[in-house]
Amino acid sequence: MKVSKFRGFTLIEILVALAIFAVVSITIYGRIGDLLLQTGSLEARTFATWIAQNTLTRLQLEQVPGEAPSAGRTVENVAMANRDWELQTEISATADPGLRRVEIRVHHVNSDGRGDSDPVARLTGFLGQY
């Protein structure tokens, strides 16, 4: 009977290889989940920032020449990227009578139609008399 020079893997070697593969697979799977969460969060913050910037630009364009905008607070719901957002705009006076501070906060809208407690994006700007 001839003895072959080549031998196969032992059962122990196969089990060790499978254990290493399982650990690596679980680690990669966890990292992919983290990456998906970060991507969704970044996308939401980008859209919310765009909404805030668009709102500040709209306020600048709607401003009446020679008049400072009136102080006050407004809350409205807007839709962007197939999502609903709550937009809170607060205009307040500053030490300069011709200058107003604008604080804009953008929140996710919950299932009950109200915004989350923490804003996704926040923008502060100023509107002046011109």
Question: Is residue 98 a part of any domain in this protein?
Answer: yes
Question: Is residue 6 a part of any domain in this protein?
Answer: no
Residues in the chain: 130
Question: Is residue 112 a part of any domain in this protein?
Answer: yes
Q: Which domain holds residue 28?
A: 11-128
pLDDT in tens, 89-116: 999 999 988 889 999 999 998 877 776 7
Predicted TM-score (pTM) of the model is 0.74
Question: Is residue 70 a part of any domain in this protein?
Answer: yes
84 - beta bridge partners? Answer: 79
For residue 100, give both structure tokens.
């107003």
Contacts of 79 (CB under 8 A, 6+ apart): 85
Indicate the number of domains in the chain.
1
Question: Is residue 39 a part of any domain in this protein?
Answer: yes
pLDDT in tens, 5-55: 667 788 899 999 999 999 999 999 999 988 988 998 999 999 999 999 999
Which helix (H) or strand (E) covers residue 99, if one does?
Answer: strand 99-108
Question: Is residue 4 a part of any domain in this protein?
Answer: no
Question: Is residue 64 a part of any domain in this protein?
Answer: yes
Q: Is the dihedral of CA 50, 56, 60, 62 positive or negative?
A: positive
CA atoms of 121 and 118, how far apart (whole Å): 9
For 99, phi then psi, to 5°, come to -130, 135
What CATH number is attached to the domain comprising 101?
3.30.1300.30
